[in-house]
Amino acid sequence: MNERTDVRFRAGAPARVAADWDEAPVPAAVPCSWWRPEVLADMPAIRRDFRALLDDGALGTPELGPELVEEAVAGLDELVSNAIRHGRVPVAVSVSPLEDGVLLVVTDHAPERSVHPTSTRDPAEGGMGMRLVAASARRSGWWAAGPVKHVWAVVPGRP
């Protein structure tokens, strides 16, 4: 266990969940691809494009293996879908290669809505995605500046 995780018990079985997301500026990086989704129906194309970037090594991620590719794609999906559902348009998404992974940044126009993943809901009821993203990311955070909020994670990888 590290400072990014804690252990909760549900029905007597331990479950690993991530701590709340830290308020932290977006790491410096140069985006290699970006999208401007408007509705959830834009997600399949974004997932397909991102998976292709991971598969062809354009993000410095050669031979990640299927499990880490799926974790990265799921992380991007969760960040973007949350921005569309709970943020305010326009939403912008970028991916950037970093030395320790791939930086995912999702920006929306709801800076007053900080990132507070649920910890009290039964996982069967949903709403655990942001905790799962943080648990599988090397680093994650959010930052509000002016009229925008940036939510970011460095994936793939484990803390």
8 Å CB contact between 83 and 151: yes
Return the structure tokens found at 78. Answer: 């969760």
Cα gap 68→102, rounded to integer Å = 11
What's the pTM?
0.80
Structure confidence at residue 7 as a pLDDT band (50, 70, 90): very low
Structure confidence at residue 127 as a pLDDT band (50, 70, 90): low
- Say what the pLDDT of residue 101 is: 86
8 Å CB contact between 3 and 19: yes
- Say what the pLDDT of residue 70 is: 87
Distances in whole angstroms, Cα of residue 145 to Cα of each of 53, 96, 154:
29, 20, 20
Q: What is the pLDDT of residues 23-50, one digit of tens each?
A: 899 999 999 999 999 999 999 999 999 9
Cα-Cα end-to-end distance for the chain: 10
Residue 13 has pLDDT above 80, yes or no: no
Q: What is the pLDDT of residues 73-123, one digit of tens each?
A: 999 999 999 999 989 999 999 999 888 889 999 999 999 887 876 666 665
- Say what the pLDDT of residue 16 is: 33
Structure confidence at residue 132 as a pLDDT band (50, 70, 90): confident
Nearest C-alpha neighbor of 36 from the set 114, 97, 142, 109: 109
Kindly list the structural domains of the chain, giving each domain's residue range(s) and its CATH number in brackets, ordered by start: 5-155 (3.30.565.10)
Cα gap 120→117, rounded to integer Å = 9
The stretches of 13-128 forming alpha helices (DSSP H) are 43-55, 66-86
